Structure 1
């Protein structure tokens, strides 16, 4: 299985994970500061900024795009409960 590196800038920690893992799952395991409320892509509390490797995440779903738009999120913002890592990236809580 392909691996990818993700760096959580808020705690300055980089981990190797299997490609396809949702970022919220990694954040929970290592104690990063990405908070969440629902895990369904509906509330927007797990919004994060992707500072590097934006193209190394899965494409946003229609629901995720709607929530990001409603929250006036910038181009490099994603929901950690929806974004799956495909390659190396760096993130921080929004």
Structure 2
């Protein structure tokens, strides 16, 4: 375990003051056009996570102090959904 940086400590304190808050979460949606190679996408995401420790870092409290723990690289869990056919609600009506 490593100590938190001052910026990490600030965010950790804010999370403790307002547990479950999504204020500092960053989300995005991407519209992909054209064919998609799921294995290529999975490989690219795995390489990205392996390269950047921040994407594998979690915080825990050890002996009363917050610390950061960098996990080993692991495959990204990527769910696939086939959206080429009718929506589930449309299928149910048929």
Per the normalisation by structure 1, the TM-score is 0.21
More strand by share: 1
More helix by share: 2
Per the normalisation by structure 2, the TM-score is 0.21
Quick check: which has more Rg, 1 or 2? 2
